[in-house]
Amino acid sequence: MEASPLTVERNGINAVPESERHGLARDLFWPWAASNLSLFGVAYGVFIVGLGLDVGPAIIAGTIGYALSFLLVGLVSVAGARSGVPTMTLGRAVFGYHGNRLPTLISYIANVGWETVLVTLSAQGGGAILARLAPGLFATEDGTATSLAIGLCFVVAAAVTIVIGVYGHALIMRVQRYLTLVFVVLTIVYISLSISDIQLGAVPSSPVPSGGVGVFIGGVIFAMTLLGLGWVNCGADYSRYLPSTSRARHIVLWTTLGGTVPPMLLLIFGALLTTSDPELANAAALDPVGALANTLPTWFLVPYLITAIGGFLSGAIMDIYSSGLSMLTLGVPLRRHLAVLVDGILMVLGGWYLLFIAEDFLSTFQAFLAIIGVVMAAWAAIFLVDMFRWRGRGYDPRLLASPQEGGAPFNWAGVISLLVATVIGLGLITSYDENLNAVVGYLMPSSWETGTFAVANIGVVVALVIAGVVYAGITAFWPPPAPAATTAETSTPPEPLLTH
């Protein structure tokens, strides 16, 4: 039975009882569409073109990256419906109860980082628009937003995110459905008002990547880190309320469509827009939302503000919910709603840093995406190999419990695979933030530093492949802990989950 959206969710990281399961796989379209339908999707097109690609290759690279990365989210979501358990809690079966603390901590940092970035972007964009609406109150002499304007928007954005996150799953699913519909209408209006800024004569017709193959690969990987790799550690959190009999193919399909189609359309528009106006890329690096509002008529600024802030908050709400679950998985003795409040405090502190201390948002953002992308790519590969190779008959509840209750302290195959892939992956990426150069790129040959692989951040894909291969290889000889399995079951691989 579906819980009331105005009742604080009682479930934490426990398995959701079958009596509380409800809905259809297509319900997953709404939260993933809303969380990726913000106008920042237009700025993503600006960013990818800004890597040095013409509009055609940029659109192709972005589409490939979006689809591949959100396919991973869809596959991870299958485990949620099968078990009723959050994503990172299921990691205890893959890495062991104590071994799972490292990837869960990184997942927690990623979620808090993303929610901080999204709330910060909403405050930046809201402040820029308030400065145009009431320049005497909210704008400085040069027309930029005052700290008061940005601060007001930040307080509102943070408060809404925290409150909805506290109420939990039922309210999130309800809010995301309505937000998707509202955002679709307002986004269509925004595009219709801005489409005159596109000069098709300025758009190169050649599909060949102007920056070379390395830049194109870099565009694909950057798109993966912008979208699906930022969500892959949350997939099961939103599918765990579905009935356990839900078809896996449908879960993958609706999750992937929801997360990919809306931002892909915005990506196309952003790529066309920035090719027509090369200065837009520079402006978007400092304030993505404010830059996109420069040519809008005044009467649409309030609806644009709602669209911009609301779209960011949709993603931030899902992140703060998942970060609360990750905190519980780490063993912090709090109720779920209290964990969300703690995350909210961290989000406010991080947002204050990005808004009032950090000098270059885009460089900090890209560095964060690349580093977290390496770890999450490795984690996703290990999780999926483990799920399809060893969890076809479900997750044994004892493997998710403490060692005293039957769980394994470590699954060394998972831990070793994650560490090896992460170390190699980080060594093959570059950072736009000079302060992080000491922890990345240490495996990059000098001949690569200014060539194809320097801009491609190939370490993200390398980490994904190595992690999956190493884990599959180790577990072929050293099966992961499975206390409920018989000798026959451990020697015979289960049926793949996607056949159910």
pLDDT of 158 higher than 90: yes
State the pLDDT at residue 487: 37
Stretch among 137-146, 266-275, 376-385 having the lowest mean pLDDT: 266-275
pLDDT of 113 higher than 60: yes
Rounded Cα distance between 129 and 149, Å, is 9
Q: For residue 466, is it within any domain? A: no
Using alpha carbons only, what angle is made at residue 274 by residues 272 and 277, rounded to the nearest 5 degrees? 115
Q: For residue 241, is it within any domain? A: yes
Rounded Cα distance between 77 and 254, Å, is 10
Across-strand partners of 434?
Answer: none
461: CB partners within 8 A, 6+ apart: 221, 377
Stretch among 127-136, 200-209, 394-403 having the lowest mean pLDDT: 200-209
State the pLDDT at residue 193: 84
What is the DSSP secondary-structure string of 188-222?
HHHHHHHGGG--GGGS----S-TT-HHHHHHHHHH
Q: Which domain holds residue 179?
A: 31-374
Rounded Cα distance between 335 and 470, Å, is 37
Q: How far is CA 299 from the centre of its chain?
A: 33
Rounded Cα distance between 378 and 383, Å, is 9
Residue 171 token pair:
């309210």
pLDDT bracket for residue 30 (50, 70, 90): very high
Q: For residue 474, is it within any domain? A: no
Q: For residue 480, is it within any domain? A: no
CB distance 104 to 331 below 8 Å: no
CB distance 328 to 339 below 8 Å: yes
Rounded Cα distance between 360 and 341, Å, is 28
Q: For residue 423, is it within any domain? A: no
CB distance 236 to 87 below 8 Å: yes
Q: What are phi and psi of 139, to 5 degrees?
A: -125, 145
Q: For residue 242, is it within any domain? A: yes
What is the DSSP secondary-structure string of 95-116?
H-TTTTHHHHHHHHHHHHHHHH
For residue 68, the domain's CATH number is 1.20.1740.10
State the pLDDT at residue 271: 83
Question: For residue range 386-441, what is the model confidence (pLDDT) as tens digits?
Answer: 999 998 878 888 889 988 888 899 999 999 999 999 999 999 887 766 666 667 88
Q: What is the CA radius of gyration of the chain?
A: 22
pLDDT of 149 higher than 70: yes
- Cα–Cα nearest to 103, from 356, 351, 457, 463: 463
Question: For residue range 440-461, what is the model confidence (pLDDT) as tens digits?
Answer: 888 877 766 555 555 667 888 9
473: CB partners within 8 A, 6+ apart: none
Q: How many domains does the chain have?
A: 1
Q: For residue 403, is it within any domain? A: no
Q: What is the mean pLDDT of residues 199-214?
A: 57
Q: Which residues of 119-138 are buried (b: 16+ CB within 10 A; e: fewer)?
A: bbbbbbbbbbbbbbeeeeeb
Q: For residue 362, is it within any domain? A: yes
Q: Average model confidence (pLDDT) for the chain?
A: 84
Over pLDDT 70: what percentage of the chain?
Answer: 84
- Cα–Cα nearest to 464, from 72, 80, 84, 74: 72
CB distance 385 to 404 below 8 Å: no
Task: Map tokens 């819980």 to a residue.
Answer: 3
Rounded Cα distance between 316 and 330, Å, is 21
Q: Which residues of 251-263 are buried (b: 16+ CB within 10 A; e: fewer)?
A: bbbbbbbbbbbbb
